[in-house]
Amino acid sequence: MEKIVEQGLLYDFYGDLLTEHQRAVYEDAVYNDMSLSELADAYEVSRQGIHDLLKRCDKILLGYEDKLHLVEKFTKIKGLLHDMKETEQLSEIHRIADEILEEL
């Protein structure tokens, strides 16, 4: 999985478990594609400080995933639902699959 997509998924699942400051910096780095220099200027810390914070956030998020496996389960279920939808099954199965996919 591409790193930025993986970071986004991990953040979507576990981001609320970070501190407010960690969330703000991580969102700017991942979703707003800000560079270390831009982040350092915006948050008035060194580039090294930002780098360390982002690495720490990655480690925290991966730690939660290693314990809970929510992203792994989500990805697997989503793939299975797409496969199920592509098969020549009853229209009711397609309707249910569509509903589940909307919820994901």
Domains in the chain (CATH in brackets) are 1-68 (1.10.10.10), 69-104 (no CATH)
- What is the band of 52 on the pLDDT scale with cuts at 50, 70, 90? very high
The whole-number average pLDDT for the span 33-47 is 97
- What is the band of 57 on the pLDDT scale with cuts at 50, 70, 90? very high
Report the pLDDT value the prediction gives residue 18, as an integer from 0 to 100. 98
Stronger pLDDT, 103 or 85, i.e. the higher one: 85
Phi, psi dihedrals of residue 11, rounded to the nearest 5°: -65, -40
By CB atoms closer than 10 A (0-12, 13-18, 19+), residue 59 is exposed
- Give the Cα separation of 100 and 79 in Å (integer): 12
15-38 pLDDT per residue, tens: 999 999 999 999 999 999 999 999
State yes or no: pLDDT of 1 exceeds 60: no
Report the pLDDT value the prediction gives residue 3, as an integer from 0 to 100. 85
